[in-house]
Structure 1
Amino acid sequence: MPASLPILVGAGLVSLFVAWAIGAGSSGSTPFAPAVGADSITIFHAVVLAGIISFVGAVLQGGAITETVGTGLVDGVSPTPLLGFLSLATAGTFVAFGVVTGYPISTAFSVSGAVTGAGVALGGAVNWEVYRTILLTWTLAPFAVGLIAYLTAEALWHFEEPNSLPVLSAVLGALLPHLRLGFLGDGGASMAAVAPTPAGSPVSGGVLLTVGLALALAALVRYDSTHHPERSEDRFLIALGCLVAFSAGGSQVAFAIGPLLPLLDGSIPLRWVLAGGGLGLVAGTWTGAPRMIRAMGTEYADLGTYRSIAALLPAFVLTQGAVLFGIPISFTQAIVSAISGSGYVAGMASVSERKLGWTAVGWVGSFVGAFAVGFAAFTLVG
């Protein structure tokens, strides 16, 4: 049903608040936290870069997960203005609490819990077909990402320079053409999918683009590693942080605008809604992210440059996989698991297991608590 103007305005303001909280506690802090921990970039420069690049990611990739968050979690009900307002208000409160306390409360868990709790109170049923995929991803992702980060850090530790970074850059170059972009195709496609095949070529345009970009990046990084070894590692880490910031914006903005989008009923183009959410991410990153960057970059594990690279790579791959399939993923969970996995290369003493334990409690508690509060709020008010 159409939203009344006061409810719509209120939901829009709460949506901006959630976007601010996400920028301060997730998309703004996690991409460059390992680089700050490795002393490759200052907190000020990390905050500026994260804000700008996460905005670009929100606009170009943010639509992929929005539908799942807005309408895919609960069956049997139609979204209402009050449902969207209460869901966003509940989730934003949980995420903001994490920003204030220094513990990264998961936006994905908070928003999903709040939307589901309020939807069940409205009379709907949990969409278990969607939730089975989500819960499986949330459960397995920390172990998979942590293991890949650990193995990558071990390989970088023993692999002679100047070969290690070019190999990783080739992997990234092969992945980049396959990122889902909202302005390509019908509702989103990758550059590899739309790349034209040259006339008479036995190889598709997508394959040529993938191989060409992989070789070009490998050659560029090899040159940099050979001629500027003292700075090449830092530059690679910062570039990887930019890719992660882009992914963070694309995957996390949906949690700010997903519950709001059904209320607009197509009256505002999705790209403009994504841009509004992206501006909220920028505001949160520039005003609230330094505290979380400091916490995540130094308190979870003692990271060097190589271990930081090993932490960001699997987080980037996991996030882009979630965007590709429209799965609401906990970006904070992914990056914390990756940081911890790479940190274990230096030994158990370099990883704060107490901090990890309380963070895991916060993840589970945020979903359960947001569900309970969302259910209670809609029951009382609705």
Structure 2
Amino acid sequence: MELVTPIVVLVIALALFFDFTNGFHDTANAMATPIATGAIKPKTAVMLAAVLNLVGAFLSTEVAKTISGGIIKEGGDGGVQIMPAMIFAGLMGAVIWNMLTWLLGLPSSSSHALFGGLIGAAIVGAGFGVIDYGVLLSKVLLPALVAPVIAGGTAFLATKLAYAVTKRQSGVASPKRGGFRYGQIFSSSLVALAHGTNDAQKTMGIITLTLIASGLQTAGTGPHFWVVASCALAIALGTYTGGWRIIRTMGSGLTDVKPAQGFAAETSTAAAILASSHLGFALSTTQVASGSVIGSGLGRKGAEVRWGTAGKIAVGWLFTLPAAGAMGAAAAALAHLGTGGLVTVTVLGVCSLLVIWVLSRREMVGSNNAISDVDVSGAAVNIPTKKERRKTARNKAKQEKKR
């Protein structure tokens, strides 16, 4: 058993900071719709999300095992083929990309930033053969493509059903439909709980991978309790302290989402994430939630997709993994030079984060630099108002008369 080295301490500290950024980058999305519809007050919503993320992190460790013992191949001695310095470099790339996209308000996935940074650094440090591409494909890439589609389809059907069962024979909406506003408190809470079961575990997996690479833990074992507890606390603190920057932009997109839609979308999101966590699939909560929002919007009568906006969201998702991978690879190339290179990576990384923080304090919080990723997805679905629908009907009638 080897002694704890400074690089191990650095990796653990940076991993927990990434977990913290994950909290305020992603988790406020869980409470977006109940805040927009007035079902729950913002401060109460963020506190509830933080507590449920804390609880969710303790419920499963399957995703953590995928990270610590799946994506990176084991060596001949039973350990992993990547050193702590490379893990540190990959984390630095992921953290910088995560903070940069948060500053610019770009739709992105914290999860894919982490995977990209780790893979880029691992390839530089140990070659292309170090990645288990079968695990990467089956537990990361395919779920990333399939889960949002399944969640969107489920949300579409659930929204159709919700509107059908709460509609009077005369075609007037039933007063019972207002009950979905309070049902959203439960469904949003379920999303926050699910987020903890999936996203917090990714950091647990990184720390466990570092301990195995350092000889401080046996290969093939899951995260220690102190790792689970520290990661749970980090993501919960991030959710509570940083969520306000995103919560303040709730009027931009999700305010158009009605309670029945929100309930259907959130329930679909939670179901997809919880099932994936059980199977060890490392999902992007943002992608799944966004797919559900779009699906629920299409399930509501009169909705149409703004394909241009949807395309920009998709490009943002696709760009995250390779961009973070490039950053992780660049950091790993410097770290590979030795202690001097590692110090350079640390200094450059800290300076970059300070610059991003200063810019975030100087700029006004708005749709250009701090917008909920799920809000952006909501903007991809256009649901005309009654006035707009009447205007469209009149225009069609005029066109028919001309013919």
TM exceeding 0.5: yes
Q: Does 1:307 align with 2:279?
A: no
Structure 2 CA distance, aligned partners of 1:104 and 1:4?
Answer: 37
Residues 141, 29 of structure 1: alpha-carbon distance in 2 compared, 3 angstrom cutoff: same
Aligned residue type for 2:33? P
Could you say which residue in structure 1 is the equivalent of 2:298?
A: 344
Could you say which residue in structure 2 is the equivalent of 1:74?
A: 72
Structure 1 CA distance, aligned partners of 2:310 and 2:246?
Answer: 15
Q: Does 1:106 align with 2:109?
A: yes
Could you say which residue in structure 2 is the equivalent of 1:132?
A: 137
Q: Does 1:319 align with 2:325?
A: no
Could you say which residue in structure 2 is the equivalent of 1:169?
A: none
Aligned residue type for 1:96? M
Between 90-99 and 246-255, the greater mean CA deviation after superposition:
90-99
- On the 8 A contact 1:149/1:314 being kept in 2, the answer is yes
Between 273-282 and 327-336, the greater mean CA deviation after superposition:
273-282
Of 230, 241, 254, the match for 2:201 = 254
Structure 1 CA distance, aligned partners of 2:4 and 2:308?
Answer: 47
Could you say which residue in structure 2 is the equivalent of 1:241?
A: 188
Structure 2 CA distance, aligned partners of 1:121 and 1:315?
Answer: 36
Could you say which residue in structure 2 is the equivalent of 1:209?
A: none
Residues 355, 281 of structure 1: alpha-carbon distance in 2 compared, 3 angstrom cutoff: farther
Structure 1 CA distance, aligned partners of 2:320 and 2:182?
Answer: 36
Aligned residue type for 2:28? S
- On the 8 A contact 1:302/1:343 being kept in 2, the answer is no
Structure 1 CA distance, aligned partners of 2:29 and 2:101?
Answer: 14
Could you say which residue in structure 2 is the equivalent of 1:44?
A: 43
SS at match of 1:60: coil
Aligned residue type for 1:72? G
Aligned residue type for 2:97? F
Q: CA deviation at 1:4?
A: 4.9
Could you say which residue in structure 2 is the equivalent of 1:64?
A: 62
Structure 1 CA distance, aligned partners of 2:217 and 2:189?
Answer: 32
SS at match of 1:253: helix
Structure 1 CA distance, aligned partners of 2:110 and 2:291?
Answer: 16
- On the 8 A contact 1:240/1:309 being kept in 2, the answer is yes
Could you say which residue in structure 1 is the equivalent of 2:171?
A: none
Q: CA deviation at 1:3?
A: 6.8
Structure 2 CA distance, aligned partners of 1:303 and 1:266?
Answer: 48
Could you say which residue in structure 1 is the equivalent of 2:348?
A: none
- On the 8 A contact 2:63/2:198 being kept in 1, the answer is yes
Could you say which residue in structure 1 is the equivalent of 2:29?
A: 30
Q: CA deviation at 1:349?
A: 6.1
Structure 2 CA distance, aligned partners of 1:156 and 1:294?
Answer: 29
Structure 2 CA distance, aligned partners of 1:40 and 1:8?
Answer: 44
Measured against aligned partners, the alpha-carbon deviations of 1:245-303 in whole angstroms (never above 9, x if no partner) come to 11101100122232221333349962221111111112211121123345467426720
Could you say which residue in structure 2 is the equivalent of 1:143?
A: 149
Aligned residue type for 1:136? L
Could you say which residue in structure 1 is the equivalent of 2:161?
A: 155
Structure 1 CA distance, aligned partners of 2:236 and 2:247?
Answer: 15
1:177-188 correspondence runs (5 A): none
Aligned residue type for 2:256? D
Aligned residue type for 1:151? L
- On the 8 A contact 1:146/1:342 being kept in 2, the answer is yes
Residues 159, 309 of structure 1: alpha-carbon distance in 2 compared, 3 angstrom cutoff: same
Q: CA deviation at 1:12?
A: 1.9
Q: CA deviation at 1:330?
A: 0.7
Of 80, 83, 101, the match for 2:86 = 83
Aligned residue type for 2:67? V
Gaps of 5+ in 1: 163-225
The CA RMSD over aligned residues, in Å, is 2.7
Q: CA deviation at 1:152?
A: 0.9
Aligned residue type for 1:318? A
- On the 8 A contact 1:41/1:238 being kept in 2, the answer is yes
Aligned residue type for 2:291? S
Structure 1 CA distance, aligned partners of 2:105 and 2:29?
Answer: 13
Q: CA deviation at 1:337?
A: 1.1
Measured against aligned partners, the alpha-carbon deviations of 1:156-214 in whole angstroms (never above 9, x if no partner) come to 0111379xxxxxxxxxxxxxxxxxxxxxxxxxxxxxxxxxxxxxxxxxxxxxxxxxxxx
Aligned residue type for 1:7? I
Gaps of 5+ in 2: 169-173, 337-403
Instruction: Count residues with an aligned counterpart.
Output: 316
- On the 8 A contact 2:177/2:260 being kept in 1, the answer is no
Could you say which residue in structure 1 is the equivalent of 2:324?
A: 370
Could you say which residue in structure 1 is the equivalent of 2:236?
A: 282
Structure 2 CA distance, aligned partners of 1:113 and 1:354?
Answer: 26
Aligned residue type for 2:147? A
Aligned residue type for 1:121? V
Between 310-319 and 68-77, the greater mean CA deviation after superposition:
68-77
Structure 2 CA distance, aligned partners of 1:23 and 1:376?
Answer: 26
Measured against aligned partners, the alpha-carbon deviations of 1:106-142 in whole angstroms (never above 9, x if no partner) come to 0221111111111111224231211221222111222
Between 259-268 and 336-345, the greater mean CA deviation after superposition:
259-268
Q: CA deviation at 1:103?
A: 3.0
Residues 301, 229 of structure 1: alpha-carbon distance in 2 compared, 3 angstrom cutoff: closer
Task: State the identity as a percent.
Answer: 27
SS at match of 2:256: coil
- On the 8 A contact 2:121/2:331 being kept in 1, the answer is yes
The structure whose Rg is larger is 2
- On the 8 A contact 1:84/1:260 being kept in 2, the answer is no
